[in-house]
Every structure is written in C-alpha cells, then in structure tokens.
Chains A and B, each alone.
Chain A
Amino acid sequence: MEMAYAQAVALKRRQLWLGLLLLAVLVLLSGHVAEISFSKLYQQIGGFSSYIDRIFHLENGRPVISDPAEWFWGWKKWLALMGETLLMAYLGTLLGATAAFVLCFLASQNLTKSKGVVFFTRRLLEFCRTVPELVFALIFVVAFSLGPLPGILALAIHTAGALGKLFAEVVENIDMKPVDGVVATGGNWFHKIRFAVLPQVASNFASYALLRFEINVRGASVLGFVGAGGIGQTLLEVIRKFYYADVSALLVMIIATVMIIDAVTERIRHKLIGLEAKS
C-alpha cells in the first residue's frame, strides 16, 4: 500500500518535472526568438518610469494636477472624439447583434434540422470572430476610405461572430416544451421563434450584447490607430509626437469612460439576470 502510494507520487513528480523542463526549453527558445534582452530592459527601465513621470507633467514642468485646465486644454475636441468612439461602439454592437440574432437560430442544432446549414453558419461565425477586428478594419479602410465607417463595419463583423456563438449556445440550452406546444397548435417557424424561443432567451441575449458593448468601447478606442475613426487616431498622434501631457489626458479620459460604461452595463446586466431568475 505504502509502496503504491510512493510510486503514484513519484510518477506525478516525474510528470511535473518533465512538464516544467519542456516549458523551460520553450521559454528559452521564445526568449531567443522574441529578442528578449534583460540588459536592455535593465538599462531602459528608467525610461519607462521617466516616461510615466513625463506624461504627468505639463510643458512648463509642473505636475498636471496643478493646472487641470491646461492639462485638458483640448477637452471639447476630445470629448467630441470620445462621443464618436462611443457611437461607433454602439452602432457596431447593434449591427453585429442583429446579424448574430438572425444567424444564431440557424447555428443551433435544436431549431435547425439541416446539418449542413448548422455547419456552414458555425464556420461563418467562427471566421468572423477569429480574424481580429483590427485586420478587418485595415482591409475596410482600403475599401471604404478613412473614417468611422470601416471601424463600425469591422466591429459589427467581429461582434456578429462572437455574439452569434454565445447566442446559439443559449438557444441550444432552452426548454423545448414550449416549442413543441407552438408547433402542435400549428405555428410556423416565426411563431416558434417569437412565442416559444424568444421569451426564454431575450434577457440572456441582452446581457451578452451589453457585455459586448463594453468590449467594443475598448476596441473602438484603438481602431483609430489604423485610421478607422474614433479617439485612437489622436492618441496615436500625441504618443508619436511626444505631447506628453496630452497622452495622459487622453488615457485618463478613455479609462474613465470605459470604467463608467462598465459600471453602468454591469448594473443593467445584474437586473437582467434577476429578471431571468424570476421568470
């Protein structure tokens, strides 16, 4: 008995060490490929703290807190850009969620009998969410020219892919008895969705869509890096041109907005989850 225990423990230990060894080899290899250089980091780490220090000081050398009006000198322009970013996220989420809503029923096995349709829809959704939205944005900027439009479309496609999968999972977990009931009274496909499926999934769908909106606000704030509208373009410019105080002002603005949106959507989502628990 004791022998068996010792053997089992030894086996586990051996596996653990083997795994760690493999990991170490991978790390060394990656370190070489990724040009990791601790000496460079050691030499330049002061650069990071001084960078952080510099973005919190104004041109005249005083800390930014001492003169908020000077710090946020461009607040009118920046707020307008932030508003544009939020609108982009909203439109992208709404368009994407609508597409996901239409596609999710085709991608769930319990509502769509044709295996081919389910398979095809799922692969389509997979493609939409695996290609990063920034890549879509890069291509769309070439096709639709600069501005928020390519950004919205990129967000919408990515959202459709991500939400479509989540929606389909919700639909596959519904209670099928109401569906049978509607079918038994002679309801067609639309009646089935409207009266049997929708009441079961609506609050979940809304909750997922709100979560996606949160993610898309973050996403929209960097789409400007590739010229697809929003506040990212300005942020990229001030970082590249070393307008230090502006960098911190814009970052503070983005982070504050993201946190407010997170807090608000979280409250709404908790209410929605409560609704679901009641029904």
Chain B
Amino acid sequence: MSDLTVNPLATSDLAPRELLRRRYASHFKPFYQDNLMAIFIGLLAVAVFVFGIYKLEMTFARLWGGLGELGKIVVLMLPPNPESWAMTKVYLYAVLETLAIALLGTLSAALAAFPLGFLAARNTTFNRLIQFMARRSFDTLRGVDILIWALIWINVVGLGPFAGVLALFMADLGIFSKLFSEAIETADHKPVEGVLSTGGSKLTSVRFGILPQLMPVLLSQVLYAFESNTRSASIIGIVGAGGIGLILSEQIRTMEFQQMSFVILLILITVAVIDFLCSKLRFAIIGVRAR
C-alpha cells in the first residue's frame, strides 16, 4: 500500500503504462468481464425483439405503405372542422356526458372504497383472513380493464353512459381500496394511542387519530383518479358505453377526418382544463403544489 501514497497524477506522466496496469488492475479489466450479465440481457432483449418483428409480421413494406396512408390521413385531418354549429353542440354535449361519467364513477367508487379501505388495511381490519380476501378481490377488480367492465355492464344495463359510470366504478373500486388501505397502513400510530389513552373507543381512535392524517392523501388521490378517469371516459364510448368516444370511433370508421381532428382537439382541451382545475383544487385542499 505504501506506493499508493505517492500522488498518482504527479507521476502518471513518467509511470509506464504497465506499472499503472499492475497498480490499478481493477480499472484495466476488459469491458465484458464486469458486464457479462448486462450483455446477456441485452442480447436476449434484442433476440425477443427480432422474434416479435418476425412473428407479428412487421415488414418494412407494410410499415412504409402504412406511413404513406397515415400521411394522407393527416393531410385530410387539417384543418379541424366541426362542419356546423349543430354538430358542435352535439360534440359539446358529448364532452359534458364524458365529464359526468368520470365524476360519478370516481365519486361513487371513492365513497364505496372508503369503508373497504379500512377493511383491507392491516391495522384497522377485524380479521386477517377478511383482510387477505379483500386484498385479493381488489386485485381481481383491478385486473379487469375498464373496457371489459364496460362490455359486461352493457350486457346488464344496456348501451349508454350509465354502463360507463358502472364500469368506471368497478375499476376504480379496486384501485381506491388498495390506495386507501395502503394510506391507512402507513398512517402514524401515535395519535391513535393518544386517543385510546384518553379513553376513546376504537371507532373514535379511527375518527380522530387516523382520519385527519388520511383525508388530504385520499382527496389528492381521488383528484388524480378523476383526471385519469376523464381520459378513460373519453374512450369507453368506443365499445358503446357513452361519452365522446362513440362519436370519435364513428368518425374514424366513416373517415370524416376533419371532424375527427376537431373532436380529438376537444378531448385534449378538456383533459388539459380538468388537469389544471384539479391541480388548483389540490393546492387549495392540501396546500401542496402539484408537479
């Protein structure tokens, strides 16, 4: 170790490369020695990629031809044009319907998930078995996509926005219950002990010990979900569950591209406005500026 005390920079000009190599052997190892695993994973990733391209018939000709078609469509899309004021009113009403679906789906799921969250949290549940079962049921609810829920509910209540609300409700119930129960589990336990030590019951300990910590977290999660549900609600119409998606998919199928681009623009504006309002509201409620 004694020769390491010499400043290596001071002597590096004079030191032969061989000496440096011996002194700092670990820095002169060939590249592949340290990264065998990474190279293997990289090769595997490329192999699967090539296999996928071959298997899914992503030929260059198809890609090129499609891009040409896409170029034509983009030209046909411009400029966005709603055709007439009457159609604009139809679109605006569809946007309203989309927002209504998102609001009701989010709100009903949040209300239903609130008690279920306590059931699925380790520190507030009655029974470990119930907690386990609750968690698994929520996993299943989350595993089914919103569009699939929409299709199932359409079979039950028929086509229309009501099926959309119920679909959002099902999907969000799983998400909210999981998020809520996690928030409850990570809540600080000391206020609960405080309430219990002054003679409070288990219920009052939840009300005054956990709930005040929880509320801002839950509200901000609900607001986030509302934002993402606005996006979801704008596509569930594609399978017939209300909202602007139905109009959009019909326009694409009938190739009315100018009107389609107008509707897409409308969706983008709506989403942006909702995002803006939600971040304002979040700031007002919890006093933390959202990123």
Within 8 A of A (CB), among B146-167: 147-148, 151-153, 155-157, 160-162, 164-166
* Interface hits, B73-97 → A, CB 8 Å: 73, 93, 96-97
In the complex, A219→B249 CA distance in Å? 18
Q: B179 at interface (Cβ–Cβ under 8 A)? A: no
Checking B143, B145, B249 against A222 with a beta-carbon cut-off of 8 angstroms, the contacting residue is B145
Q: A30-B99, A87-B56, A143-B70 are in contact. Are A226 and B249 (CB under 8 A)?
A: yes
Interface residue from A40, A47, A94 paired with B155 (Cβ < 8 Å): A47
Return B73 CB to nearest CB of chain A, in Å: 6
Contact partners of B101 in chain A: CB under 8 A: 30, 34
Q: Which A residue sits closest to B161, measured CB to CB?
A: A34
Are A33 and B107 in contact (CB-based, < 8 A)? no
Report if B234 contacts A (CB, 8 A): yes
A29 close to chain B: CB less than 8 A: yes
A27 touches B107 (CB 8 A): yes
Number of A positions contacting B (CB below 8 A): 57
B192 at the interface (CB under 8 A from A): no
A91-B49, A144-B66, A254-B143 given; A135·B248 CB < 8 A: yes
Residues in B whose Cβ lies below 8 Å from that of A259: 139, 143
Report which residue of A90, A139, A251 has the largest number of chain B beta carbons within 10 angstroms of its beta carbon. Answer: A139
A236: chain B residues within 8 A (beta carbon): 151, 239
Once the chains bind, are B58 and A35 in contact (CB under 8 Å)? no
Select A142's contact among B67, B69, B272, beta carbons within 8 Å: B69
Question: Can you show 15 pairs from A to B with CB atoms below 8 A apart?
Answer: A33-B93, A33-B97, A34-B100, A35-B161, A41-B157, A47-B156, A130-B268, A130-B272, A134-B238, A138-B252, A144-B66, A144-B69, A149-B62, A149-B63, A150-B66
Apart from A48-B153, A139-B73: 5 A-B pairs, beta carbons within 8 A: A33-B100, A34-B242, A45-B156, A131-B267, A143-B69
Binding site for A on B (CB under 8 A): 45, 48-49, 51-53, 55-58, 62-63, 65-67, 69-70, 73, 93, 96-97, 99-101, 103-104, 107, 139-140, 143-145, 147-148, 151-153, 155-157, 160-162, 164-166, 231-232, 234-235, 238-239, 242, 245, 248-249, 252, 255, 260, 264, 267-268, 271-272
